[in-house]
């Protein structure tokens, strides 16, 4: 065997090594992307679950929430208005975050569905719509347009909607 043949074999072995390395790197990147999507979804869903826990286990929070969703006039004093506004901020900042993750391809369909369903239900309430008109400037312009586009006419308070669903079911 001459030196040229050995050099050609060496180049072929090196090329195969590069291809194998690139395939391995691609599989690692795919796995990393999957983990990033899962972590992004989990972070946002944890924020929304935190709000649910707050409503369920903080004395008076559920009452402030349901009265606030029926209309800001139903809240008693500045403290309740601040509490209600804080809860909506928590929900809608998380919703804005999951929307950005969704647009970047970091959130899968199941996570998007779980995040948007309850939040978009809140959009149907008079209290949210009144609050949104006052505080929408706390959010990015693209998110403002998204909410404005998806927000239907007010249909009633959250608890009233649940009771209507029970009666028809």
Tell me the pLDDT tens digit for each residue of 81-139.
999 999 999 999 889 988 988 888 888 888 888 888 888 888 989 999 999 999 999 99
Give the DSSP letter of residue 2. Answer: -
> Residue 128: which H helix or E strand, with range?
helix 126-135
Q: What whole-number distance in Å separates Cα of residue 132 and Cα of residue 111?
A: 24
* Region of residue 60 (left: phi > 0; alpha: psi -120 to 50; beta: else): left
Both tokens of 145, joined, read 């347009």
Taking alpha carbons only, the member of 112, 61, 67, 124 closest to residue 90 is 61
Q: Say yes or no to pLDDT of 169 above 60.
A: no
Q: What is the pLDDT of residue 166?
A: 53
The whole-number average pLDDT for the span 151-156 is 72
- The string of pLDDT tens digits covering residues 35-86 is 776 676 677 777 777 877 877 888 898 899 999 999 999 999 999 999 999 9
Residue located via tokens 């779980």: 114
Q: What is the pLDDT of residue 55?
A: 78
Q: Tell me how far apart the terminal alpha carbons of the chain are, to the nearest angstrom.
A: 84
Q: Say yes or no to pLDDT of 158 above 70.
A: no
Q: Say yes or no to pLDDT of 163 above 90.
A: no
Tell me how crowded residue 45 is: count the other CB atoms within 10 A of its CB: 16
- Which is more confidently placed, 166 or 164? 164
Give the DSSP letter of residue 123. Answer: T
Specify whether the CB–CB gap between 106 and 40 falls below 8 A: yes
Q: Highest mean pLDDT range out of 7-11, 29-33, 105-109, 163-167? A: 105-109
- The sign of the torsion formed by the CA atoms of 30, 35, 37, 38 equals positive
Give the DSSP letter of residue 77. Answer: H
Q: What's the pTM?
A: 0.71
Helix 61-70 and helix 158-168, axial crossing angle in degrees, nearest 10: 90
């Amino acid at each position: 065997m001459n030196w040229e043949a050995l050099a050609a074999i060496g180049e072929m072995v090196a090329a195969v090594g590069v291809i194998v390395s690139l395939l391995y790197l691609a599989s690692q990147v795919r796995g990393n992307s999957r983990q990033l999507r899962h972590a992004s979804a989990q972070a946002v869903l944890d924020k929304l679950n935190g709000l649910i826990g707050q409503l369920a286990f903080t004395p008076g929070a559920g009452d402030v929430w349901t009265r606030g969703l029926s209309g800001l006039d139903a809240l008693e004093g500045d403290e309740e208005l601040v509490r209600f506004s804080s809860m909506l901020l928590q929900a809608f900042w998380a919703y804005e975050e999951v929307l950005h993750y969704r647009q970047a391809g970091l959130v899968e369909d199941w996570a998007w569905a779980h995040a948007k369903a309850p939040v978009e239900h809140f959009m149907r309430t008079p209290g949210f719509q009144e609050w949104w008109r006052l505080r929408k400037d706390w959010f990015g312009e693209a998110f403002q347009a998204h909410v404005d586009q998806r927000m239907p006419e007010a249909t009633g308070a959250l608890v009233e909607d649940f009771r209507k669903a029970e009666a028809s079911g």
